[in-house]
Amino acid sequence: MSVTIKGLYCGTVQRVTYEVFGWDRGQWLRIHEGDDEYAAKNVYNSAEVRKAYQGNVAWCERIVVETRILKGANVPVYQLVMQMRGEDGEAGEVIRTEYMDLATALIFHREALAMPDCLTAGVVDLSNGRSVDI
């Protein structure tokens, strides 16, 4: 089982890219695009590009603002939580892994308990935050 999410507003993202254009046969052609300003400047200033476009070269900063709305996604519903044994034999690192279905989570739960480094393990139902009775 997995939970399907639809229509979730994921925020607005602003990203900046740098583009270099060369003028050829009456139109501007994009010859470079990337998120590194210095790389764009290097292309813009390169002798090869200037020669190829007879000096008719331009570069610009493009700012794109995007709004993302999630139209559909399946998200994990179960989480395996393992308490690993520390170097001193006491409780150590906690490892969390998410799964789409209970059957898979239970398989990995059994495998985790068989590991000598695993102190304890359990499965949590993320839809309600409760432990799964095993």
**What's the whole-number average pLDDT of the chain?**
88
Residue 3 pLDDT: 58
β partners of residue 69: 9
| Of 4-13, 48-57, 117-126, minimum mean pLDDT range | 4-13
Tens of pLDDT, residue by residue over 1-33, are 555 666 677 788 898 999 999 999 999 999 999
> What's this model's pTM, rounded to 2 decimal places?
0.46
For residue 50, pLDDT beyond 60: yes
Residue type, 2: S
Left, alpha or beta for 108 (phi > 0: left; psi -120 to 50: alpha)?
Answer: alpha
Tens of pLDDT, residue by residue over 61-83, are 999 898 888 777 767 688 999 99
Round to whole Å and give the CA distance between 22 and 11: 35
